[in-house]
Amino acid sequence: MSSSSLPVSVDATATLLAGQRYVADRSLATAVFLALKLGRPLFLEGEAGVGKTEIAKVLASGLGRRLIRLQCYEGLDVASAVYEWNYARQMLEIRLAEAGQASREDIQRDIFDARFLIKRPLLQALEADAGGAPVLLIDELDRTDEPFEAYLLEVLSDFQVTIPEIGTIKAAEPPIVIVTSNRTREIHDALKRRCFYHWVDYPSAARELEILAVKAPDAGEALSREVVGFVQALRKMDLFKQPGVAETIDWAEALMQLDALTLTPEAINDTLGVILKYQDDIQRLQGSEAQRLLEQVKAELGGQTAV
Amino acid sequence: MARPADIPEFEGGRLLANLMYFARTLRAAGMPVGPGRLLAAVEAVRAVGLGNRRDFYWTLHAVFVNRRDQRELFDQAFHIFWRNPRILEKALAMVLPQTRMDTGEPQAPMMKRLAEALHGKDGPGGDEPAEERLELDAALTFSERELLQKTDFEQMSTEELTLAKAALARLRLPLLDVATRRFTADPSGPRVDMRATLRAALRNGAGAIPLKRRRIKTNHPPLVILCDISGSMSRYSRLFLHFMHAVTNDRDRVHTFLFGTRLTNVTRYLRAKDIDVAVDRVTEAVDDWSGGTRIGECLAEFNRHWSRRVLGQGAVVLFISDGLDRAAGEGLGPVMERLHKSCRRLIWLNPLLRYEAFEPKSLGMKAILPHVDEFRPVHNLASLSSLIEALSRPAGRRLEAAAEWRPTAA
């Protein structure tokens, strides 16, 4: 059984995530462990760019499972999320069968055969392969509408899908399900109740520094400290969209490409578009405000090293 | 699953009892924690073990919390409870009378109304007499309603207001429908439904395959109402509450915000089925009735904290305000532009538009006007019904919509 490869404790889960270069808080590791151990979906909410989607990818590669991703959008329907019949082939089959004088019952049985079933992500996720049950990532669930959310209830609680022509298909081994939401609307309690919930927050300065050390190891110690300090200060400002961890990593890499060894007001102005994605925010920070913030960050860092 | 049989073996039952009390505590504090959650918690604690306090904390967190705003409550409850459950009980006893009052509240106004109904005309201007007349003499009521249609809300007597409120309660908003990505069966639809066709083919047996058709399903977009409740609007704002209540209870996906000097989300209060309960709750929740107006700041707050959550799926925004701003329209332009750009359609309802020679002269109005799709009066019932007509019409090209007013504003 492949489930033996699942981590046996919270510590093991943390080690597993760290092994895949994912720096996780103890709280997140606990939630992931619970989801794996008790076979329930993990519901991750948080701002954009804090590493929600990444968890699923990391789990898939860490456990050696297949990753199946269902990107949600408004109007997502059963035909593109669960299954669809291959109509062209079915038509052909009917014609062939009629030519061969097959009986009506035979045709009926043959037409809705698994051969003509096109499997979409949710149905694929119910099939385990050699490596074990796959990791199913249901990404940005808040983008879809309430009817689809209601449909998911059956899939996520019993891990089964009902196809009227065939019957109910049940997973032999339930997939590892990660559901993410950016909270652009509230997901219904009925769905959340079936999951373990975790709010993925922006990391603390120390944690973010760790993440940078793992994800952008080439950035120097000094630069990393300044980048993290600056981003953390930005998050305290009243911005329309606060920079996420993904932006921090991108920014550190962008600065490296520009051969910056430390942060300067010019470098910040040139690369502001990497961390801030709204014109209002960029305008607010351009020029003197960025410089003020940078001086404040440098003063704080200086104080730290002196102590 | 934790079967009842193996529960006593679990830590001698002590932890289980404590978990149960903890769950009850959370429930008393207002979190939706049922027996199902409690069982899940037992299961989860057993899976993680009781190695250390932090893991225990996050285990219970993963089970009991399922909204971001519950985190603080959980955090406090956890730290107090698992140090000494007694302290929390005492603390809760102090808080409980308030929460009890909250739950008992819906009954109080009902009882008051009931008393009014029983004692006849005890209440000042209750709805009873008006409703009676409506039933007794339909013809008279009709003509009266006709008259009401043209009377300005501001000039109505209490009795007329009551009738107007009743009319508002009957109001339906047939907002334009938008195409979704879903389909519905329709014999004369433009697309072929392959799945239904194949099923029909089998039912038919040999011979021709009858084509089944479908068309794209339509659905109304979410509606967001932003209503001004400042002093200059005071006469109207309470009536609009009735309007908003009728709309909220008529359709799903309606979000209502009131603003004067600050922004309040009153969606939840308006969901109460009884209008009196709803109005009472809103009145209690909002503390800037009939004060000044800071349209710019309130809208900026809306843009920052709410727009991404309520405007996500192409919402139509009803902006109800007279456009008189204490800050003289400062900073209003960009904020309005952002709001306009992030919704499907922005409709401005302005009671000041009732005057024949109205010109959008105030700075606030000038700042708002370039960014709305539709500009309509709402000062009497007739204007409200013309609004409804306008809303069910397919929208014109966005920027040309309120063009007739633009030259005066510029």
What confidence tens digit (pLDDT) does each residue in A22-40 have?
999 999 999 999 999 999 9
Instruction: Find the mean pLDDT for residues A1-5.
Output: 48
Q: Among all residues of chain B, which has the CA nearest to that of A42?
A: B62
Quickly state the pLDDT bin for A305 (edges 50, 70, 90).
low
Quickly state the pLDDT bin for A15 (edges 50, 70, 90).
very high
Interface of A with B in 199-228 (CB under 8 A): 199
pLDDT at position B144: 46
Which amino acid would we find at residue B175?
L
Q: State how far residue A306 is from chain B, nearest Cα, in angstroms.
A: 32
CA B134 → CA A178, A249, B171, distances in Å? 57, 69, 17
pLDDT at position B142: 39
d(CA B295, CA A47): 27
**Contact state of B68 with A98 under an 8 Å Cβ cutoff:** no
**Residue B395 vs residue A101, higher pLDDT:** A101
- For residues A75 and B180, the answer to whether their CB atoms sit within 8 Å is yes
Spell out the residues 6+ positions from residue B355 whose beta carbon is closer than 8 angstroms to its own. Answer: none
Q: Among all residues of chain A, which has the CA nearest to that of B57?
A: A27
d(CA B389, CA B347): 13
Which amino acid would we find at residue A85?
W
pLDDT at position A27: 93
Question: What's the pLDDT tens digit per position in B164-187?
Answer: 777 766 666 666 677 777 888 888
**Contact state of B68 with A87 under an 8 Å Cβ cutoff:** no
Contacting residues of B for A27, CB less than 8 Å apart: 58, 61
Instruction: Find the mean pLDDT for residues B4-19.
Output: 60
Decide if A85 touches B, using CB distance below 8 A. yes
Q: Mean pLDDT score of chain A, rounded to an integer?
A: 88
Q: Which of A34, A90, A145 sits opposite B44 (nearest CB)?
A: A34
**Contact state of B58 with A238 under an 8 Å Cβ cutoff:** no
Task: Describe the strand order of the beta sheet including A42-46 as a list of residue ranges.
Answer: A67-71, A135-139, A176-181, A42-46, A196-200
Q: Mean pLDDT score of chain B, rounded to an integer?
A: 73
Return the residue in A52, A197, A242 with the most chain B beta carbons within 10 A, the one to mutate for interface testing: A197
**Contact state of B48 with A74 under an 8 Å Cβ cutoff:** no
Q: What is the helix (H) or strand (E) element at residue A176, kind and residue range? A: strand A176-181
pLDDT at position A220: 85
Contacting residues of A for B47, CB less than 8 Å apart: 33-34, 37-38
Q: Which of B254, B255, B251, B248 is nearest to B277 (CA)?
A: B248
pLDDT at position B246: 82
- Reply yes or no on whether the pLDDT at A230 is more than 90: yes
- Reply yes or no on whether the pLDDT at A260 is more than 90: no
pLDDT at position A137: 96
Instruction: Find the mean pLDDT for residues B255-274.
Output: 87
Instruction: Find the mean pLDDT for residues B203-229.
Output: 82
Return the residue in A27, A148, A194 with the most chain B beta carbons within 10 A, the one to mutate for interface testing: A27
Residue B302: DSSP 8-state: I
The burial of B47, by beta-carbon neighbours within 10 Å (0-12 exposed, 13-18 middle, 19 or more buried), is given as middle
* Separation of first and last alpha carbons in chain B: 69
Partners of B345 in the beta sheet?
A: B316
- Reply yes or no on whether the pLDDT at A63 is more than 80: yes
Decide if A233 touches B, using CB distance below 8 A. no
- For residues B369 and B340, the answer to whether their CB atoms sit within 8 Å is no
**Contact state of A27 with B49 under an 8 Å Cβ cutoff:** no
**Contact state of B198 with A192 under an 8 Å Cβ cutoff:** no
- Reply yes or no on whether the pLDDT at A79 is more than 50: yes
**Contact state of A34 with B55 under an 8 Å Cβ cutoff:** no
Quickly state the pLDDT bin for B1 (edges 50, 70, 90).
very low
- Reply yes or no on whether the pLDDT at A247 is more than 90: yes
Q: State how far residue B312 is from chain A, nearest Cα, in angstroms.
A: 6
**Contact state of A34 with B209 under an 8 Å Cβ cutoff:** no
Quickly state the pLDDT bin for A195 (edges 50, 70, 90).
very high
pLDDT at position B173: 65
- Reply yes or no on whether the pLDDT at A41 is more than 90: yes
- Reply yes or no on whether the pLDDT at B84 is more than 70: no
**Residue B37 vs residue B385, higher pLDDT:** B37
d(CA A282, CA A285): 5
**Contact state of B32 with A87 under an 8 Å Cβ cutoff:** no
pLDDT at position B92: 57
Q: Among all residues of chain B, which has the CA nearest to that of A87?
A: B194
Lowest mean pLDDT among A122-126, B95-99, B199-203: B95-99
Contacting residues of B for A26, CB less than 8 Å apart: 54-55, 58
Q: Among all residues of chain B, which has the CA nearest to that of A90?
A: B198
Spell out the residues 6+ positions from residue A179 whose beta carbon is closer than 8 angstroms to its own. Answer: A41, A42, A43, A44, A138, A141, A156, A191, A195
Quickly state the pLDDT bin for A307 (edges 50, 70, 90).
very low
Cα dihedral value A263, A269, A271, A272, nearest 10? 110
d(CA B48, CA B50): 7
**Residue A68 vs residue B132, higher pLDDT:** A68
Instruction: Find the mean pLDDT for residues B69-85.
Output: 82
In this prediction the ipTM stands at: 0.73
Q: Which of A62, A39, A56, A51 is nearest to A199 (CA)?
A: A51
Give the A:B interface size as CB pairs under 8 Å.
107
Question: What's the pLDDT tens digit per position in A138-163?
Answer: 999 988 888 899 889 888 888 999 88
Quickly state the pLDDT bin for A251 (edges 50, 70, 90).
very high
pLDDT at position B375: 82
- Reply yes or no on whether the pLDDT at B156 is more than 80: no
d(CA A94, CA A254): 59
Decide if A185 touches B, using CB distance below 8 A. yes
**Contact state of A30 with B67 under an 8 Å Cβ cutoff:** no
pLDDT at position B132: 32
pLDDT at position B100: 39
**Residue A136 vs residue B100, higher pLDDT:** A136
Contacting residues of A for B71, CB less than 8 Å apart: 199
pLDDT at position B109: 42
**Residue B71 vs residue A304, higher pLDDT:** B71
- For residues A182 and A48, the answer to whether their CB atoms sit within 8 Å is yes
pLDDT at position B406: 55
Angle, CA B314 vertex, CA B313 and CA B317 arms, to 5°: 120
Q: Which of B330, B265, B336 is nearest to B300 (CA)?
A: B336
Q: State how far residue B247 is from chain A, nearest Cα, in angstroms.
A: 20
d(CA B45, CA B65): 15
Quickly state the pLDDT bin for A197 (edges 50, 70, 90).
very high
Return the residue in A146, A182, A196, A241 with the most chain B beta carbons within 10 A, the one to mutate for interface testing: A196
Spell out the residues 6+ positions from residue A92 whose beta carbon is closer than 8 angstroms to its own. Answer: none
Which amino acid would we find at residue B275?
I
**Residue A103 vs residue B339, higher pLDDT:** B339
Interface of A with B in 88-127 (CB under 8 A): 90-91, 94, 98, 104, 107-108, 111
pLDDT at position B279: 83
Phi/psi at A226 (5° precision): -65, -40
Q: State how far residue B385 is from chain A, nearest Cα, in angstroms.
A: 31
How many C-beta neighbours within 10 Å does residue A190 have? 12
**Contact state of B68 with A38 under an 8 Å Cβ cutoff:** no
Question: What's the pLDDT tens digit per position in A270-282?
Answer: 898 999 988 888 8
Q: Which of A34, A20, A117 is nearest to A63 (CA)?
A: A20
How many C-beta neighbours within 10 Å does residue B32 have? 14
Q: Among all residues of chain A, which has the CA nearest to that of B180?
A: A75
The burial of B227, by beta-carbon neighbours within 10 Å (0-12 exposed, 13-18 middle, 19 or more buried), is given as buried
pLDDT at position B155: 62
Which amino acid would we find at residue A29?
A
**Residue B287 vs residue B123, higher pLDDT:** B287
pLDDT at position A16: 93
**Contact state of A185 with B37 under an 8 Å Cβ cutoff:** no
Instruction: Find the mean pLDDT for residues A225-232.
Output: 92
Spell out the residues 6+ positions from residue A46 whose beta carbon is closer than 8 angstroms to its own. Answer: A52, A182, A183, A199, A200, A201
Quickly state the pLDDT bin for B269 (edges 50, 70, 90).
confident
Quickly state the pLDDT bin for B157 (edges 50, 70, 90).
low
Angle, CA B137 vertex, CA B134 and CA B141 arms, to 5°: 55
- Reply yes or no on whether the pLDDT at B140 is more than 60: no
Interface of B with A (CB under 8 A): 32, 36-37, 43-44, 47-49, 51, 54-55, 58-59, 61-63, 65-68, 71, 180-183, 194-195, 197-198, 201-202, 205-206, 209, 303-304, 308-310, 312-313, 334, 338
- For residues B220 and B178, the answer to whether their CB atoms sit within 8 Å is yes
d(CA B372, CA B216): 29
**Contact state of B32 with A111 under an 8 Å Cβ cutoff:** no
Contacting residues of B for A98, CB less than 8 Å apart: 206
pLDDT at position A181: 93
Lowest mean pLDDT among B76-80, B172-176, B245-249: B172-176
Residue B176: DSSP 8-state: P
Take residue B361 and report the two structure tokens written for it.
């002269």
